[in-house]
Amino acid sequence: MRRGRALRDLGTDQSGVVFLEFLIAFVPMWTFFLCTVQLAFSAYADLVVKHSADSAARSAAVVLADDPSYYGGEPERSLDRNRVSLNDFRQALGRLGSSFRGSPNPRGIAATLSNDVLVNLGRSRLNTIRLAAHVPAMPLSPFNVGQNSRPSLAEAVAGERRLLSALYYQPFALAVTFPGAQADVATGPEIVVRVTYAYQCVIPWARRLLCSPFHDLDFQSELDDAFFPTAQRLVGGRFRVIRRESALMIHDAPYEYRTQGGGQS
């Protein structure tokens, strides 16, 4: 009798109904809010990548017809993939280490870093254009691209970004390609530059709904043309593909450069 009465009381009990209704309404509304914030961040990233493509196109318009002596004799309009090898990095680190041992002056170290290491590391017309694309995209640098890259909501909205994360992330997550170029040579009067970027989604829960793991992105063939693609297998987190293009006329002139220097013949 007592058990039957308890079951009847449980079936007619109305306590907790408001809380249950709140949960039913709150979960989809909270998910919608998080997805809206993530889409807003993605729209901001799209504008940054568009600016990156414009910057790369402005660089290409000048660099492609520039003096070959500035690029190790590389022919004009060349878009050759001069990738950076591990040996290049070893030599660059050796030059930087020598500057630390021989010149404790910070100015001397900075001069070696900027004038020797960065300039000679993979120097080509393509890498010069890549650099023009990389700098505007640095504000999009991720918090962490390791296997446990899951920033909190507070970090995602107002977290501190570091320049170092951009320096180690962008060389394999940003690709500069040239639709319409034939055999790595710009043949037309204008150059079309496409910047493809793997943008890290940072909003909890929304990133699982709207974004994909790095190895599942649909632009792996484009990322093969990134500056240093071998580190891609170490990436964790969730990402979205952003592509933007920009086109400009190449600023060339009907004369040949001298063999040494940049004057007219």
Q: How many CB atoms lie within 10 A of CB 110?
A: 11
**Identity (one letter) of the amino acid at 133?**
A
215 pLDDT above the threshold of 90: no
- Written as six digits, the tokens of 170 are 């962008």
- What is the rounded distance in angstroms from the CA atom of residue 1 to the CA atom of residue 213? 58
Query: What is the model's pLDDT at position 136?
Result: 92
* Alpha carbon distances (Å) from 248 to 47, 59, 62, 64: 18, 10, 10, 12
220 pLDDT above the threshold of 90: no
For 158-200, write each residue's pLDDT tens digit. Answer: 666 666 777 777 877 888 999 888 878 888 889 999 999 989 8
pTM above 0.85, yes or no: no
Query: What is the model's pLDDT at position 74?
Result: 80
Q: Residue 117 in 3-state DSSP? A: helix
- What is the rounded distance in angstroms from the CA atom of residue 208 to the CA atom of residue 200? 11
Least trusted range by pLDDT, from 42-46, 47-51, 147-151, 175-179: 147-151
Query: What is the model's pLDDT at position 79?
Result: 87
